[in-house]
Chains A and B, each alone.
Chain A
C-alpha cells in the first residue's frame, strides 16, 4: 500500500456566501494518477483551486505529505511541492516563454536539494533540461511573449512552468481543452512521460474519458460540489460511469 501524498477530510469551500464544495474526502496515493470527472459547473476547478490554496477552506482539513497545510497560502503549498496547471492556462501574457518558466522556479525556494537536484539546461538559467526534452517546441519559442502563443504552445508552457518547480503532485485542469487535435496527442504523451520518467503524482480534471481511463489509476465523479462516486479505472470501464458525466 503506497503512502498517501494528498489527503482531504471533509473539505468545504465557498465563493463569498455561496458554498461550492461540500464534505470532500479525497486520498491521492504517492505515484498514482487520479482523474476527476463530472459535468460542467460541478466544482472540479473549484476543488483544484482549493487544493492549491487559491480558495480557502471553509471546513475540513487538508494534509500533504502527512503535514497539515490547510492554513497555508498558495505560494507555500507550491513550495511544499504542489504544481498547478490551471484551466485556461493562465500564462503571463507579457513575459517571454523563458520568463514564464523562470517564475516556476519560485516554488523551489527553501526546498532541500531543490534546484541542484536536476540537470540544468543551457537555455534558461536554472530551468531543468527535461522540460525542453518533453516540450522541444518551448526551446524554439523561448523568447516569444506568452500572450502571442497558440493554445497548444501555451498549454505546454503552463505544464513546463509547473514542472520547473519540481512538484511531487501535479494538478492539471482540462489540459487538452480547446487545443488542436494534432497537439492533443503530444500533450497526452508528455503527461504519460511525466508520470513514468519523473514519477510525479497527478490529479487531473479530464473531460475525455478515453484518455482519463488510459492515463489514470482511479477516478472520482463530482456532482453539485460533492464527490459522488469513486473507483478504479482498472476494474471498471469508462462506459459504466459515462452516464454520470455526459449530458
Chain B
C-alpha cells in the first residue's frame, strides 16, 4: 500500500468524522442560534441516544433494529430536551452563566445515572450484517483503500439530517416561524407567533438530532456514560468556528475540523492532533472572530 490510499483513506475518515461532528454540533448551533443558550448537557443527549439504541436492539434484534433505533433515540432525546427546556433553561434564559452551570450539573447527573443503570464499562451496539463489511479498492492508484460501510452510513445520515433541516427551515410553516423569531423576536411575538413554543420546538429538535447522532456513534464504539464528552468538545469548537449558530457555518466548520484532525493524525498521534486542532481554532478565531459564516441574524437561514 502506497502513500495515496493512506491519504485518501484519511480524507475519507475526515469526512466521516466531520459528519459525526455535524450531527453532534447541529443541536448546539440551533439552540445557540435562536436562544443564545449554551447547553452543557448536550453531550449527554448523544449518550442517551446511544443507550436508547442499545435498548431498542434488545427489543428489536435483527437487521432493521438500527433503523428502528433512530426514531426512538430522536424522540427520546427530544423528550428529555423538552423537560430540560421547560424546567431549567426557560427559567434561566436571562442568565447565561447560570444556564451554563445548571446544564453542566444536569450533564453530571445524567452521566452518573447512566453509570448506575448500565454500569461504567459501557455497552455494545453491534452493527447489523448489512453494515458489517467494507469496500476495498481492488486496483489502481488507490489500491488497498478500505471504506467501511458504517462510515458510509454515517455520512448518509449526516447528509440526510442536514438536508431535512434545511428543507424544514426553508420550506415549512414552522421553519418560517423559526426564521422570523430568529430575525426579530419582539416583532415575531407582536405578529402573533408563540415565541415560547418556537423556542421549545427548536431546542427539542436540537436534542433530538443529538440523540440520532448517539445511535450513529454507537455503531463505532461502545456506549459509555461519558461517550458524549469526547464529541461535545469538538462540537463546541465546530459551533464557535462555524459562526455561532449558523447552520451553513456548522457544516463547513465540521468539515474543516474533521479533515484537520484526520490529516494531522497521519503525522502525529491522536492527543497531539487534538492540541493542534485547539491551537488552530484559537488562531482562526483571532483572525476571524465572527467564524466561517458571519451575520448573526441570518444564523438559521440554512
Which A residues are within 8 Å of any B CB, using their own CB? 52-54, 73-75, 78-79, 84, 86, 90, 92-95, 99, 102-109, 161-162, 165
Contact of A103 among B180, B186, B194, B301 (CB under 8 A): B180
The answer to whether A107 and B192 have CB atoms under 8 Å apart is: yes
The answer to whether B176 and A103 have CB atoms under 8 Å apart is: yes
The answer to whether B191 and A106 have CB atoms under 8 Å apart is: yes
What are the interface flags for B200-241 relative to A under an 8 Å C-beta threshold, 1 for contact and 0 otherwise?
000000000000000000000000000000000000000000
Task: Point out the residues of chain B lying under 8 angstroms from A107, CB to CB.
Answer: 191-192
Task: Point out the residues of chain B lying under 8 angstroms from A99, CB to CB.
Answer: 176, 179-180
Return the chain B residue nearest A161 by Cβ: B191
The answer to whether A103 and B189 have CB atoms under 8 Å apart is: no
The answer to whether A92 and B190 have CB atoms under 8 Å apart is: no
Contact of B189 among A54, A105, A109 (CB under 8 A): A54
Does any Cβ of A come within 8 Å of B187's Cβ? Answer: yes
Task: Point out the residues of chain A lying under 8 angstroms from B183, CB to CB.
Answer: 92-95
Closest 3 CB pairs of A and B: A107-B192, A106-B192, A78-B192
The answer to whether B190 and A54 have CB atoms under 8 Å apart is: yes
The answer to whether B189 and A73 have CB atoms under 8 Å apart is: yes
Q: A54-B189, A93-B297, A94-B301 are in contact. Are A75 and B184 (CB under 8 A)?
A: no
Task: Point out the residues of chain A lying under 8 angstroms from B68, CB to CB.
Answer: none
Inter-chain pairs besides A75-B189, A107-B191, 19 sampled, C-beta below 8 Å: A52-B190, A53-B190, A78-B191, A79-B192, A86-B187, A93-B297, A94-B179, A94-B297, A99-B180, A102-B173, A102-B176, A103-B176, A103-B193, A105-B192, A106-B177, A107-B192, A109-B192, A162-B191, A165-B191
Does any Cβ of A come within 8 Å of B195's Cβ? Answer: yes
Chain A residues touching B, majority SS: helix
Does any Cβ of A come within 8 Å of B188's Cβ? Answer: yes
The answer to whether B177 and A103 have CB atoms under 8 Å apart is: yes
Q: A95-B179, A95-B180, A99-B176 are in contact. Are A90 and B187 (CB under 8 A)?
A: yes
Chain B residue total in the interface (Cβ 8 A):
20
Return the chain B residue nearest A90 by Cβ: B187
Return the chain B residue nearest A106 by Cβ: B192
Task: Point out the residues of chain A lying under 8 angstroms from B190, CB to CB.
Answer: 52-54, 74-75, 78, 84, 86
The answer to whether A74 and B186 have CB atoms under 8 Å apart is: yes
Task: Point out the residues of chain B lying under 8 angstroms from A103, CB to CB.
Answer: 176-177, 180, 188, 191, 193
Task: Point out the residues of chain A lying under 8 angstroms from B193, CB to CB.
Answer: 75, 103, 106
Task: Point out the residues of chain A lying under 8 angstroms from B187, CB to CB.
Answer: 86, 90, 92
Does any Cβ of A come within 8 Å of B298's Cβ? Answer: yes
Compute how far the CA of A162 lies from the CA of B191 in the bound complex, rounded to whole angstroms: 7
